[in-house]
Structure 1
């Protein structure tokens, strides 16, 4: 039984996914499922999930998507619909396999987008809330410019060496799968607005005012179109990673949101 282990890999048949599990502190709380950013993995969250577990009493499941961390590799180039596949197919299969009961999705960047796709594009019977850290529902020039800078840092700086600690043999798969898709000219047409009206659970968006990967149009669109409405929390002195740049405020917002649900 996977719940007996704090760390491991879940076998979904066509792929094995690295995971970390934090047991709940209190009964009756929804489980929080963490979905990492486009260059992330289980390890990138550090101890933030532990802090959230302590503050909410919830169990927390963190996993690395295919092509990241110690999960199965993935063929490149990734299709430009890779987040659709993750949200509609993989996450659905994973949640059915885990049988966690009521779930709050907590996604960052790509992970937030995947969470919105799942909540609005599937029946999502177990989802009771969605927390989006710096989500994207469309591509923007500001995002492309930052991703181009990341390419330079990977090719000629120390970014590859730093990411190796998170991904090991998957490092090139993780970086180029993300970077190649976002810099494809056709990805400027990528858009998730069609999924927003189908979201029937509360949504919280947490975004830094200085986010270098997305403008106000991202959270304004979610707030205007999410089917059950969305609360937006804007943080000063914060860039693209609210849980790193403003961990205290981000933790407080997530804890308040989770407690309001269950």
Structure 2
């Protein structure tokens, strides 16, 4: 059963949910996507906690879900790396020492940053729909989302999870990625510092990225990298191919993160 709490980091309130089976066991930490939240993970974290028998932690990042609203009007280019720094503060505050990260999209990139920058307590990293450089497919996916925001009830659907933070959430996401000076962003240099195993899920029909993201990870990470290209799957393997994602994640954790 997930337990809800709030913790303060840098003067902001972060909404967290946890399942603590045994403090001596590893904790799987889930990092949501650019428009995601604790609630939008649905029951996937609980299911993975059940089949691995590990502890679980989920949290809403700043400006998302039930955490504090954004305190910024514009994102810096390195906002995903800064997200890893906040994650480190959360982990430190909760005294977690054996970490497995499961990140989706923006959360996946934050996870890779964390694995590279804070290696001491990381056992393994699992990512889906990850971005390590800017592809035209990513930009087109965001342009399509911008159009949907203007022509459909997308904002209304997202507001159910983010309330009055929704407008700023969309603004920062769309404006950051479509900035001309963001086009050359990548984290090739950073991920070369990853020393623990990485599992990568990529949907064959992902509207925000291609297998080139996976290839760049494999080219730059010297540690073990296991990857799956999932047929009939878009940007959300944990929802669109839930059973496959759970099973392969369990296999990976049992082999590489004991």
Q: Are 1:159 and 2:134 matched, yes or no? A: no
Q: In the TM superposition, what whole-angstrom CA distance separates every residue of 1:209-237 from its partner, at most 9, and x where no partner exists?
A: 11111111100111121131311011110
Aligned counterpart, 1:145: 140
Please show how residues 59-74 of structure 1 align to structure 2 within 5 Å: 59-74=55-70
Say if 2:204 and 2:232, in contact at 8 Å, map to a contact too.
yes
Say if 1:92 and 1:124, in contact at 8 Å, map to a contact too.
no
Aligned counterpart, 1:228: 223
Looking at structure 1, the residues matched to 51 and 9 of structure 2 have their Cα atoms a distance apart, in angstroms, of 31
Say if 1:70 and 1:170, in contact at 8 Å, map to a contact too.
no
Q: Are 1:94 and 2:93 matched, yes or no? A: no
Q: When the two structures are superposed, what TM-score results if normalisation uses the length of structure 2?
A: 0.95
Correspondent of 2:254 among 230, 241, 259: 259
Where do 5+ consecutive residues of structure 1 fail to align? none
Say if 1:40 and 1:68, in contact at 8 Å, map to a contact too.
yes
Looking at structure 1, the residues matched to 237 and 91 of structure 2 have their Cα atoms a distance apart, in angstroms, of 26
| Structure 1 runs (4+) greater than 6 angstroms displaced | none
Aligned counterpart, 2:3: 6
Looking at structure 1, the residues matched to 175 and 61 of structure 2 have their Cα atoms a distance apart, in angstroms, of 17
Q: Are 1:52 and 2:48 matched, yes or no? A: yes
Aligned counterpart, 1:34: 30
Q: In the TM superposition, what whole-angstrom CA distance separates every residue of 1:142-166 from its partner, at most 9, and x where no partner exists?
A: 1100101111111221110011111
Looking at structure 2, the residues matched to 247 and 97 of structure 1 have their Cα atoms a distance apart, in angstroms, of 31
Correspondent of 2:164 among 144, 169, 175: 169
Cα deviation for residue 125 of structure 1 reads 1.5
Looking at structure 2, the residues matched to 140 and 14 of structure 1 have their Cα atoms a distance apart, in angstroms, of 35
Q: In the TM superposition, what whole-angstrom CA distance separates every residue of 1:174-228 from its partner, at most 9, and x where no partner exists?
A: 2211111111121111101111210010000011111111111100111121131
Q: When the two structures are superposed, what TM-score results if normalisation uses the length of structure 1?
A: 0.94
Where do 5+ consecutive residues of structure 2 fail to align? none
Q: How many residues align?
A: 256
Aligned counterpart, 2:128: 133
SS at match of 1:249: helix
